[in-house]
Amino acid sequence: LPELFDHYSEATVSPFPECGRDLGLYPVVDDVRWIERLLPLGIRTIQLRIKDQPLALVEPQIRQAIALCRNSDCRLFINDYWQLAIEHKAYGVHLGQEDLSDANLAQIRAAGLRLGISSHCHYEVARARSLKPSYIASGPIYPTTSKIMPWQPQGIEGLSYWRKLIPQPLVAIGGIQGDRIKAAHQAGADGVAMISAITASPSPETTVRHLMTLFS
Ligand code: TZP
Ligand code: MG
């Protein structure tokens, strides 16, 4: 394995622009209305992850989200829709490994957008690393009901392991809520991404305020 990683780290592609290591609490939401709601709480990193909606509903949300986050100085990563992200000058794009062969990474880089890439296993971590993205997201750390995946939860031990192999900023994702943030942060995560802990909370604002205090 170490040889495999050395080989990948020799790739000569230029790196994507940096996004910093202070990613912090990283809500992943499926509607721009969540962004409107969470920005006033001081969120500094957020992802708009819209799945299974017609493009006519997606584009205006992306446009609005970009404008809102620019005004609030919040790093907005657009999931999947890299062309719209470029067109409307988003902060960054987030892609899964299944998107990497179709997306034009050179175009994303040339437009100055940051790139985050998901990874769930050795092969995916190695592939992500070779592309020198702005950050790599690893998971699922804990069991999650927000995404169906073939991978087992990796636990904090798995996260510590990825930390040793990933030089880029690292985002932990999957089943993270409450005090689990602390463990993920201590294991070296620069950001902690969450869907249901925030969007399924009976009181998302209270939850987010509390979660932000744990990330320090
Ligand atoms: N990728 C890995 S786990 C996951 C994604 C998109 C879902 C995370 O959602 P939750 O509700 O925070 O477990
Ligand atoms: Mg995708």
Quick check: is 118 catalytic?
Answer: yes
Residue 26 DSSP code:
E
Q: Tens digit of pLDDT for each residue in 87-122?
A: 999 999 999 999 999 999 999 999 999 999 999 999
Quick check: is 75 catalytic?
Answer: no
Could you tell me the CA-to-CA distances from 159 to 8, 75, 80, 124, 125 in Å, in that order? 20, 23, 24, 14, 12
- Closest-lying ligand 1 atom to the alpha carbon of residue 177: 12
Question: What tokens were used for 107?
Answer: 């175009």
Could you tell me the CA-to-CA distances from 28 to 21, 23, 46, 53, 77 in Å, in that order? 18, 13, 6, 16, 9
**Four-point Cα dihedral 93, 155, 208, 46, nearest 10:** 0
The residue from 147, 163, 196, 201 that is catalytic is 147
Report whether residue 121 contacts ligand 1, using a CB cutoff of 6 Å: no
Q: Under a CB-based contact definition with an 8 Å cutoff, are residues 180 and 13 in contact?
A: no
Rg (CA), the chain: 16
Closest to 5 in 3D by CA, of 142, 124, 134, 101: 124
Q: Under a CB-based contact definition with an 8 Å cutoff, are residues 136 and 117 in contact?
A: yes
Q: Is the pLDDT of residue 189 over 60?
A: yes
The pTM for the full model equals 0.95
> ipTM above 0.95?
yes
What is the per-residue pLDDT for 78?
98
Q: Tens digit of pLDDT for each residue in 121-152?
A: 999 999 999 999 999 999 999 999 999 999 99
Distance (Å) from CA 80 to ligand 2 centroid = 5
Q: Tens digit of pLDDT for each residue in 32-48?
A: 999 999 999 999 999 99
Question: What tokens were used for 50?
Answer: 């819209």
Closest to 42 in 3D by CA, of 14, 86, 75, 78: 75
- Rounded to 10 deg, the angle between the 122-130 and 155-165 helix axes is 30
Distance (Å) from CA 147 to ligand 1 centroid = 6
